[in-house]
Amino acid sequence: MSAQPTPLAIVGVGKIARDQHIPTIAASDAFTLAATVTRHNTLPDVPNYGSIAELVAGQPKVRAIAICTPPRGRIALIRDAVAHGLDILLEKPPAATVTEAEAIVAAIAGSDSVLHVTWHSREAAAVEPARAWLQDRRIARVTVSWREDVRVWHPGQEWIWEPGIGVFDPGINALSILTRILPHPLSLARATLAFPANKAAPIAADLVLDDGTDAAIAVGFDFDQRGPQTWDIAIQTDDGVLTLTAGGSAMAVDGVTQAVPDEPEYARLYARFAELIATRQSDTDLQPFRLVADAYLLGVRREVAAFDWNG
């Protein structure tokens, strides 16, 4: 007899919850959407609560939550969830600051809760095949081009321009893939950040990363890309060129398309969460987030034209 799906609540019902989490949970055998915790954007026919404490009181069978709120202030949600013994899936980015992200990880340590700090792009179909292909090859050059239009992916969402976010909201997806597939740890060598005159977060960034070898690693992010959107990584090795396209969903070697699993990344993300719950283990990797923080520490700032949502 198969196990019953775990009742789960979504905390924060915004665009990412509607676009990805809700349909993924609906198609999952491991989870069922039992409730929401949100002050806005409630769902029809799904009970909603104003806090995690109210959720637990009203839905005692709920044993897991997916936190999909904007990153600022998540530590309070984590502490409430831990106090009530809930397992937690945390949408990226994990927090607004490294200090808060580390406090989130510390809150889990010694508790009975499971925490999955998610990087959904790591679950893209070609990421694990790429990682396996690169293991025994010497890397000479890595070029990342991650360019999309904020107007399309975050229409009118002013929180995306809070300090520390901006272009790094999509850009951290590329960093999460790099830190997974490259065989050596990465550090930031230098960065240039382009800030609109009227915003507190960058709209573009260029990073140079160091993996402790002589590999040249150049990363380019743009949040003002008109026309085709690109999420591409090219890796030149001593045994061919690996390319990841479509955000890590497709892979080629020397221009020849490679077979990859046919499964959506959020389905894989929730399958991973189910596995962590079953084994009572947490996944709390913060490497991509630390690289973003380092970019703010070392980045040379330049001002560009003011951003216009209708521009």
> What residues act catalytically?
92
Phi, psi dihedral angles at 123 (to 5 degrees): -90, 5
Q: Which residues, including other chains, have CB under 8 Å from residue 123's CB and lie 6 or more apart? A: 265, 266, 268, 269, 272
How far is CA 260 from each of CA 7, 46, 126, 190, 274, rounded to the nearest angstrom? 31, 36, 6, 34, 22
Q: Three-state DSSP class for 290?
A: helix
DSSP string across 226-286: -SS-EEEEEEEEBTEEEEEEGGGTEEEETTEE-------HHHHHHHHHHHHHHHT--B---
Distance, CA of 221 to CA of 217 (rounded, Å) = 13
Q: Are 35 and 22 in contact (CB under 8 A)?
A: no
What phi and psi, each to the nearest 5 degrees, are found at residue 118? -90, 145
CA–CA separation, 77 and 303 (whole Å):
35
**Number of C-beta neighbours around residue 117 at 10 A:** 23
Report angle CA 21, 249, 149 to the nearest 5 degrees.
Answer: 70
State the Cα torsion 262-267-272-276 to the nearest 10°. -150
Helix (H, G, I), strand (E, B) or coil at 29: coil
Instruction: Return all residues near 100 (Cβ < 8 A) that are at least 6 apart.
Output: 74, 75
Residues 53, 59, 63, 64, CA torsion sign: negative
